[in-house]
Amino acid sequence: MSNDIFVITEHMDGKFSDVSFELVGKAKELASAWGGQAVAVVVGSRVAANVFASNLTLQIDDAALSQFNPEAHGKVIEALVKEKSPRLVMFGWTATGMDLAAWLSARLGVACAAYVKNIGADLTMTCQAYGGKMIAEVAPEGDMAIAACLAGSFPAEAGQGSTAAITISLPIDLSSLKVKFVEAIKPAGGDVDITAQAKLVSIGRGIGSKDNVELAEELAQKLGAVVSSSRPVVDAGWLPRTRQVGKSGLKVKPKLYLMLGISGAPEHLEGMKSAELIIAVNTDKKAPIFNVAHYGATADLFEVAEAMLELL
Amino acid sequence: MNIVVAIKHIPSIADDLPVKGNNVDFDSVDFVLNEFDEQSIEQAVLVKESVGGTVTVIGVDLIGELDNVLHLALAKGADKAVKITGDDPSADSHTQAKWLSEAIKGLSPDIVFAGVQASNDLDGQIGPLLAAHLDMPYIGGVSSVGVSGDTATVSKEFAGGVGAKYAVTLPMVVGVQAASKPPRYAPISKVRQIAQTATVEKVAPSGDASSGLTFKKMAPPVAAGHAEMIEGSSKEVAAKIVELLKSKGLA
Amino acid sequence: MLTTIEKIIFIALALISAGFTFHGFKTIVDSIRKGRSAPELKNVPMSLVKGAVTVLFQRTIFKARKGLSAIHMGLFFGLITYAFVNLFDVLEGLVPGFDLVYGGKHIPNAPTGLVNAFNLIADVMSMFLLVAIIVFFVRRFIVKDKALTFRENILLNPKVKAGAQNTDSLIVDIFVIMHVIAHVLSQAYRLTDGADPFMPFASFLNSIFGASQTGVHVAWWVSLGWVMFIIPYLSRSKHTHFFMSPINLGLAKQNPRGQLDAPAKVDPGAKFLHDLSWKRVLDSYACVQCNRCQDVCPANFYGRPLSPSALEVNKRYLLKEATFGSHPDLYLLPLTETVISPEAVWSCTTCYACVRVCPVGNEPMADIVDIRRRMLVDGAELDSGVQNALQSLATNGNWMSKGKRLRGRWAKEMEFPVKNATEEPVEHLWFVGDTASFDERVIPNTKMVARLFNQGGLDFGIMYQNESNAGNDVRRVGEEGLFEQLVEQNMEAFGKAQFKQIVTTDPHSFNTLKNEYPQFGGKFEVKHYTVTLLKLFEEGKLTIKNKLSHYKVTFHDPCYLGRYNGGFTAPRKLLELLGVEFVEMPRNCENSFCCGAGGGQIWMGKVAPGERPAENRIKEALSTFGESANAKTQLFVVTCPKDMVMYSDAVKTTGNEGRIEVRDMIQLVAEGVGVDA
């Protein structure tokens, strides 16, 4: 039992994601309050891990860990956490962290909170639940807790540094894995790169049907922008996955983010909240997006889009 | 092939969520099927259609209205429906996953599907919790599943079209982000017919697990900031937006 | 007149002709009987008499194409006359000495006056027939009237595409011309004593050709020989119409216009021809393929691949090939491959214009709903917008993906309490509808209705979250199961409430509550709010404070209030009370033109380029207003929340903002009464 905080970092192609730095930064803050250490945990193969401002960086290096494998990574992290008994284990509430956090919680029998936006010194976790419509404050019981934190909740700068990584040996045998990495999937080529656009017209469920996407395309064309979307639009097959903004899509930071019919679930906000100018049009005056957008209007997106087309 | 889909009945966020004490007032909200579970049911049925087998849909009946959801799943191609009579609308993911895992063990599944997440997964999602209890590997964020023999090939999405393909020796638990095809529509006549003829197997909850989280507060977000609202008719709104864009050199 | 040998030949031919005719009609009847059962008809003999009377007075054809209809009327009476003419011609041939010329002076004790009268009528009608048939011939073959053709994108039976309809018409045109000329000639040749003043046309021909016994024989044989051929032919051509349209009119829909027949319990709806009820198989035999339904179809206007008449024509040719053409295997082809394309099926707005305009009582729209019903059950891929709407309706009871509890949110924002009809008794249960309850653009109007009801002292309440979508459009999309579910939900809510009558804002809800809920045991008095408001004015509970003479107004009859339910007067009376300058568009009341949103279209994305029905309607309104010299504000007044959405959009897309404004009736009434928004 310690007052250490483990941050399970994530990386791809040798590059750590922003959320890892954000969590390390937050861990440091908590560690200094608790008198423990902020420990960055790097699981992978041949990753340059001396990039964090952590008190300690533990690196577990094995060829079997070269690609994210939920089973392998899970087993390694479980063994490590069991051995070191930190006070808190932090994951990103991301495609990889989501595979591990709750699983680890059930394996170890420790409390786990998800959708975490903030963690208090008393370990009270503030969670953004119900599609952003509710903020919950929860307190974990027990000596150890797990927090799966929304990306973008803490500043990344505080986590950046150059603490030398200490490589430790593989804590568990990985020879009989049931999950085998086959290949990486690259984004479908040929489509525009929405992360490179200065202007995005982004559509959500409110667009209603596939045929209406055309209206957004027209508007985007007039604005010299490109159409992006929230997840449901892509899941419905109305736009290719390359256009999806948000947690499971792309992070964008355009000069203009014009949102039509997007209510603003936390997963989407993760991908666009640092846009320079956010304008949201939505029929629901209580849509969470209005808490984030710079300008908002409670109006019918079709009417607004068509009126804009005439004016442009 | 024994295909199991674990579903979650959750408060609808189409409504305003009233608060009672330190949690949502579950008596005053409508419960709906988690939207990701619609995807996972579709993916399960697609797998069944390609390799054969039976699809069993199972969920915890929190408010006594799960039958509707189960009937819908049957109409979409599931073969069997099971409900765990939980009768506790505040049962968290840990509790539900424990109950589900005990019931699913008896079904000797080859593959278990769950929605990748739900909007009320404050203590984590059903899928990975189930995997831990069933001692099966878990992969979430999945957008396609193919099965051949005792191996499943699943595609997991990280972000922005980047992903990875895995081959997994079954059994496993899959957390579905999106089915490989958009979910089908089940005609209500079929659902209603099923409602009259189908039997939903009832299972008493067994096992005990808790999230270990204590709710201290639940409230709508206090907005740190709020958008400057543009009032007026749609036309006026459009005009003001265009004006704004022009003033910033964006149009 | 005829020789013995001629008589033998004639009788033999007549028997052969009768045989073919019998076979023809038996084949038709058999094919009709293959259809599914139809709702039980009441009072069949009386209905058939009514049908016959309708035909006799040609009542139904004058709903459109008035000039051509008059000519059709002439043709009709001409052919009726010719039934008698042919009867007498046969008698002239077979009975020695039977001869009607000169008042029948060769026949002992002939009623000369009567015979002369008949001769005059027959002679004049002969000329009329010739003129009429030549007009129709010229229209079809010389002028090539576009109304008789189908657009390229419409699915057509290959035979129709190859011009089979024209061949049919040509044969009948030539028959009528030859037959009439031969008959008149046969009379002319009999005029041995010169002109008969009661037979001016025959006398004129006699003055050219003279009298001739041989001529009489030849002309007689030409005239009646044709008949021997044409009668069996009729059963095999589109002109079966002669016999089938009176029957079809007699057996036409007896339930209210706004009530769809319930689908079969097993295999609901229609995939194959004989999944349709026998009456709708009969429809295709009654159809003369005049395309009047196509003229009034908003989907067809919009360039969509739908033509109600092509549907009937295709059914007819499918039947013909399957029966007379001995290809019964054609019955096994789905309707969506043979009579109407899937895209056309999903283009229908269920505006009822095709059914209303049909002179012979056909219901192509009902076929389309049945085809949709089966597509739904068979799991056909749905338009994504429709699927979303249906899913939301199934889950939330509204198509707008809003939570149930939000339905009454607007009412809680009112300055006075709006009663919950499921908790306390009210006189008027206001069924608000989805758009009026949830759409932020329409809610101000909803609140105005409430304020006016309140000011008029109306004891009213709403059902808050207990109300579900009434299901009118759900049923018309073909989702009968969901419709039944919604009906049950609403019936349960009504069961909790105490009220005397229902008042609705939305004509679609109005229609189904009024006409279809009785099928499920829900018999209520249902009123549209225009009627309720009018009554408040008539009882003096509301009074006009401000006359609105500064408005020039036209009114759009929504399909489901007007054409379906005859709600024409209340809105017009309200406008009169308000003192606006009112002008009527050419297409008004029964003949109103659909906005294009009904039958589920509002859930689908915008699909086709080209002028939309609503845009056309706005132009119609503007041309009705004309270039007005006065500076009055020109208003397009609607009484349906869907119309508000459709027409506001159309005003913009046609670039007519500033020239015409769309207003809901309630806004005008509020202004007149002096109730603020």
State pLDDT tens for residues C400-437: 888 888 899 999 999 999 999 999 999 999 999 999 99
Q: Give the three-class secondary structure for C655.
A: coil
C677 touches chain B (CB under 8 A): no
Instruction: Look up the pTM and report it.
Output: 0.87
Residue A25 Cα, gap to closest chain B Cα (Å): 22
- Domain of residue A261 covers 194-311
Q: What is the rounded distance in angstroms from the CA atom of residue C582 to the CA atom of residue B134?
A: 75
Name every residue whose Cβ is closer than 8 Å to that of residue C629 and which is 6 or more positions away in sequence: none
pLDDT at C628: 64
pLDDT at C607: 59
CB contact under 8 A, C385 and A307: no
One domain for residues A300 and A198: yes
Q: Which residues of A sit within 8 Å Cβ distance of C? A: 205, 208-215, 236, 238, 283, 285, 298-300, 302-303, 306-307, 310
Does A93 reside within a domain? yes
- pLDDT of C677: 61
Instruction: Count CA atoms closer than 13 A to B247's CA, side-chain side.
Output: 7
Given a cut of 80, whether residue A294 has pLDDT beyond it is yes
What 3-state DSSP class applies to C662?
strand
Q: Does one domain contain both A79 and A227? A: no
The class that CATH gives domain B2-203 is alpha beta
**B9 contact partners, CB below 8 Å, separation of at least 6:** B31, B32, B33, B34, B59, B60, B61, B62, B63, B65, B66, B69
The answer to whether residues A59 and A161 belong to one domain is yes
Q: Which residue has the tokens 């990280």?
A: B158
Query: Does C377 reach chain B within 8 Å, measured CB to CB?
Result: yes
Contact A215 C388 (CB under 8 A): no
CA distance C576 to C534: 11
Residue A216 included in any domain: yes
A13: left (phi over 0), alpha (psi -120 to 50) or beta: left
CATH number at residue A233: 3.40.50.1220
Tell me which residue has tokens 């045109």.
C173
Q: Using an 8 Å CB-CB cutoff, list chain A residues near C401.
A: 205
Please enumerate, as own/partner, the contacts of B193-199 that have beta carbons within 8 Å and a separation of 24 or more.
Answer: B194/B71, B194/B74, B194/B75, B195/B67, B195/B68, B195/B71, B198/B71, B198/B74, B198/B81
Residue ranges of chain C with per-residue pLDDT less than 50: none
How far is residue A59's CA from residue A16's CA, in Å, rounded to a whole number?
13
Q: State how far residue B34 is from chain C, nearest Cα, in angstroms.
A: 12
Q: Which residue of B has its CA nearest to A229?
A: B160
- Neighbors of chain B with 3 or more C-beta pairs under 8 Å: A, C
In a domain, A52, yes or no: yes
Residue A103 within any structural domain of the chain: yes
Output the domain CATH number for residue A95: 3.40.50.620
pLDDT of residue A1: 64
Q: Do C485 and B15 lie within an 8 Å CB cutoff?
A: no
**Beta-carbon pairs below 8 A across chains A and C:** 51
A215 to chain C: closest CA residue = C606
Domains in chain A: how many in total?
2
Contacts A235 to B, Cβ<8 Å: 39, 177-178, 182
What residue spans define the domains of chain C?
64-235, 384-537, 541-673
**A289, part of any domain:** yes
- Domain final position from A152, A168, A184: A168
User: What is the C-alpha to C-alpha distance for residues A128 and C119, in angstroms, rounded to an integer?
Assistant: 95
Mutate to test the interface with C, among A209, A212, A298, A303 (most CBs of C within 10 A): A209
What local confidence, expressed as pLDDT, does residue C404 receive? 86
| ipTM (interface pTM) | 0.92
- On whether residue A235 sits in a domain, the answer given is yes
Q: Which of B182, B187, B192 sits opposite C376 (nearest CB)?
A: B187
The token pair at A50 is 């001396």
pLDDT beyond 90 at A240: no
For C541-673, CATH number? 3.40.50
**pLDDT by residue (tens digit) across A188-221?**
777 788 888 999 999 998 888 887 888 899 999 9
Question: Taking 90 as the threshold, does the pLDDT of residue A180 lie above it?
Answer: yes
Pair A234, A292 in one domain: yes
Averaged over successive runs of 10 residues, the pLDDT of chain B (251 residues) comes to 97 88 91 95 97 97 95 96 93 96 96 96 97 97 95 90 93 96 90 91 91 93 80 88 88 79
Instruction: Please check the confidence at residue A167 and state whether its pLDDT lies above 80.
Output: yes
Of A209, A215, A300, the CB nearest to C384: A209
The answer on A158 and A302 residing in a single domain is no
Asked whether the CA dihedral C426, C432, C433, C434 is positive or negative, the reply is negative
Judge whether B185 is closer than 8 Å to chain C, CB to CB.
yes
Contact at CB, B190 and C377, closer than 8 angstroms: yes
For residue B234, give the nearest of A104, A236, A300 by CB distance.
A300
Q: Domain for residue A176, yes or no?
A: no
Residues A100 and A234 in one domain: no
CA distances from B196 to B48, B189, C205 (A): 24, 11, 79
| Residue C606 confidence (pLDDT) | 60
Residue C192: Cβ within 10 Å count: 13
Residues A119 and A263 in one domain: no
Q: Which of C383, C391, C402, C662 has the highest number of chain B CBs within 10 A, making it the mutation to test binding with B?
A: C391
Does residue A36 contact residue A3 with C-beta atoms inside 8 Å?
A: yes
- CB contacts of B184 in chain C (<8 Å) are 379
Q: Does residue A203 share a domain with residue A134?
A: no
Nearest residue on chain B to C481, judged by CA atoms? B189
Chain C residues 338-357 within an 8 A CB cutoff of chain A = none
Kindly give the interhelix angle for C529-538 and C665-673, rounded to the nearest 10 degrees.
Answer: 20
A235 to chain C, closest Cα gap in Å: 12
- CB distance C383–A209 less than 8 Å? yes
Sheet holding B228-229, edge to edge: A226-229, A199-203, A256-260, A277-282, A295-298, B228-229
8 Å CB contact between C492 and C275? no
Determine the Cα–Cα distance for residues C526 and C514; give it in Å rounded to an integer.
6
> Of all helices (H) and strands (E), which one includes residue B60?
strand B54-60
A81 SS3 class: helix
Residues A160 and A209 in one domain: no
User: CB–CB of C604 and A211 under 8 A?
Assistant: yes
User: Could you check whether the bond before residue B171 is cis, i.e. omega within 30 degrees of 0?
Assistant: yes
Structure tokens at A161: 């540094």
* Cα C347-C351-C355 angle, rounded to 5 deg: 105
How distant is the Cα of B87 from the closest Cα of chain A, in angstroms?
A: 21
Residue A253: inside a domain, yes or no?
yes
